[in-house]
Structure 1
Amino acid sequence: MSNATNSKKPHYPAIWISDVHLGYKDCKADYLLDFLNSVESDTLYLVGDIIDLWSMKRQFYWHPSHYQVLSCIQQKAASGTRVIYIPGNHDETFRNYIDQTLFGIEVHQQFIHTTKANKRFLLVHGDDFDSATRYNKFISIVGDVGYDFLLFLNRWTNRIRKVFGGNYYSLAAWIKTRVHKAREAITAFEDAAIHEAKKQNVDGIICGHIHHPKIKVDDGIVYCNDGDWIESCTALVEQQDGRIELLHWSDTQTILDSADVTKLATPIVSSVKIKPKKSAA
């Protein structure tokens, strides 16, 4: 990570983002745009649910910042960044273009990324694991109305925090981690993802889907979830030595977790301020 006082953008071998949900009213497009404009990478992975076609079918919503995010991604592709797109369930229409290139962006069902440490990571969105977990059951219990209410609380909590000078905080994520059924669903999802990584004989797996950013090592497999840009404002990045880091990008940017994949040891957890930033509008 570059020093905060250095105006040069940090350059990573790879960056992973997912669950942006452009076209949904609670998408934090301003934060994502700031992130994309602040970093560079050899490869940018879009790990599904970039555009929320489900939400747009129910009620059309498209803020100008959502277009700016797409434009920024296309500019990166045009300027030499390899952009690989793995469609998710909310943008599954783009699965009709698997193994094709759209506007300079490669579309794949899944992908294998090899880090600078020569470790192989399976990249999938994660909705394939729903049938093997309780996630679908949890979603059916909570429902869209319940999730929308969580995000409503999240939205108004942060508006109040902003008035009093507070930084962005994901109340929705905090509530979910304290709901027993939600914790069960997340654990079952992680177990299914790790099982798939073992099945495909890779060193780790990178996914999204459940809006729960995390890095952990389980039975020699590195599980990485890059989170989302509705609740968490998180992304995964690879450092030049092959280390995978989970970044939080809102009013202040922090490293939440990191894993030394060269040794596949227990992740080194840190909370390091990268740089201050004005609150997004």
Structure 2
Amino acid sequence: MKEDSKQNSLNDKTILSQEEASNLAEELKQTLKEGFRPEKDEKLIKKLIAGLGDNRGMLRRTFSESLGAIGPASIPELREALLKSPNVTTRRAAAKTLKLVGDPSALPDLLEALINDKDPVVQGSSAGAIAIFGEHAIEYFVRVLERPNSSEMQCGLARWGLSFIGAKGANSLKEAALSKNPKVRASCIAALGEQTQTLCDLQAKNIITNALNDVSIEVQIEAIRLIGALNEEDWDLDLLASKLSHINPQVRKQTALSLMRLKASNQIERLRNSLLNEDDAEVINILELSIKVIKRNT
């Protein structure tokens, strides 16, 4: 039986032909259009899950929206589809549908898919679904960052998720920013921008300032970068400029860029002195640019 003509559920008990899928989608569209929710019927849910594997995007969208409207009753079947379906289209759609359902009980399953599924779209859709849960989601993204086997893409999705949550997860972000894991600290500090600038959170600002002297180069760079981005805040520019003499060229480079963005005219002499002593070509270029831009804006 060809996959493009039959859509199978995980256990092959529910099968929809293309015609059956089309007819069901039309019925559901009308139901949703009239403002009603589909019935929380087990057989219907199984049909909708089978329809998530349909190769027609508009039909998948209708089935997904219908499952979202049904709500938490659809989670057991969606969980099974996300974690066990051999059909990658079904897994992708299941992750997106769990986002529509919006029930935090699905968080462990979405984390498992983010970590273990080999398909990058499933990983991305799972991260997107996790992120909508705000503060409750932070611990799940932290777990991804703490895993030594997490790929760069998975860590990138976790960092994105933390930034997406931002001020909505302020307390958990600030706590995680003090983690023993430098990757977690750096990622959480990067996500504190909204909390610091929009909500004037002094605790968050102190965490960022203290991170300038973190034992991790990665954390220092992230703090320096964020300070440069938050140019409406009153930062300790002397402390920031002290990083111009750091042994790591990336720290020196990022410091010069942040001083430039902050239009730190009172640090221009330190930038000039650093330029005289600098031997890294890339850093020299950034120092020259920073001095030029600051002079032009003063």
TM bin, normalised by shorter chain, reads under 0.3
Greater helix share, structure number: 2
TM-score calculated relative to the size of structure 2: 0.22
Greater strand share, structure number: 1
Q: Select the structure of larger CA radius of gyration.
A: 2
TM-score calculated relative to the size of structure 1: 0.23
